[in-house]
Amino acid sequence: MKYLKLYEDFSQNSPIGIIDSGYGGVAILKALRSNFPQYDYVFLGVSPNKTLSKLDFSESKVLVERGLQYLTTLECQTQLVACNTACTLIDNFPNNTINLIKETIDYINGLDYNNLGVLATPVTINSGIYQNELPNVVSHSCDSWASLVEEMRFNTPEGIEIIKSDLNQLFNQSDIDTILLACTHYILLKPIIESLYPNINIVSQDDVMVNYFSSHQITSSNGRSCRWLTCGSSGEFDTEVKELFGITTKSEQVII
């Protein structure tokens, strides 16, 4: 009976695993924890120094695959790839893995819009996935936006000018009524964009994932815990998560 009890405890430990290259996925996790605090979560940042969009294709793909395998060893029966760039790298998603891009496309298809402006990293834009799967799309590659977030420069005068310039380039293409922020880093830029274009509908992927979790049965243990893992410096991770999101973490550095 003693061994049976140990097995039962182990089988009930199935946190939701969330994987990203940097800090965009933290914005997704923050929204999920706010709306679904009963679940257990594990966050894994797989890229120690820079976002996946700055790495070469093969290196990025290996990091994502190893990260998903690592989450499996932690009994994460539901896994979310909270990075658009990472989603473009995976050929076949495991059954237990939530494809952020697929769910975003499904969400957008349920909206009423005329012209959709997609803002994303060069890798995501060059993949053509949103342009090919959604109607009436114009797109623009925001080369610097993820770095603005990672380096915490997005609220500086220089950062705001870069954001303005990219938005102008997008709006010069078409009469856009809805914007999709197709990079989880860009969730942090939503207030700036809203202040610049108050009449534009903005879709960010934290809202997409909250909607998904609300309408699907999610496999997770209900311990209200959150474990933070990073392949980089745990001290740097904790400091930057605190500065960006106001969240106090005690992360663990891991090798995947």
- pLDDT for residue 135: 96
CA 242 to chain centre: 17
- pLDDT for residue 62: 82
Distance (Å, rounded) from C-alpha 234 to C-alpha 243?
14
- pLDDT for residue 78: 95
Q: Is 81 a residue whose pLDDT tops 60?
A: yes
Q: Report residue 98: phi and psi, to 5°.
A: -90, 120
Mean pLDDT for the stretch of residues 86-108? 91
Q: At 177, is the pLDDT very low, low, confident or very high (cuts 50, 70, 90)?
A: very high
Give percent of the chain above pLDDT 90: 74
- pLDDT for residue 38: 96
Q: Is 3 a residue whose pLDDT tops 60?
A: no
- pLDDT for residue 166: 97
- pLDDT for residue 11: 42
- pLDDT for residue 23: 85
Domain 2-100+210-253 and domain 102-208, same fold? Reply is yes
Q: Are 21 and 88 in contact (CB under 8 A)?
A: no
The fold of the 2-100+210-253 domain, in CATH, is Rossmann fold (3.40.50)
Q: Is 7 a residue whose pLDDT tops 50?
A: no
Q: Is 14 a residue whose pLDDT tops 50?
A: yes
> What's this model's pTM, rounded to 2 decimal places?
0.90
Architecture of domain 102-208: 3-Layer(aba) Sandwich (3.40)
What would the pLDDT profile of 181-210 be if each residue is shown by its tens digit? 999 999 999 999 999 999 999 999 999 999
Mean pLDDT for the stretch of residues 50-59? 60
Distance (Å, rounded) from C-alpha 190 to C-alpha 42?
25
Q: Is 4 a residue whose pLDDT tops 60?
A: no
Domain limits of the chain?
2-100+210-253, 102-208
- pLDDT for residue 8: 37
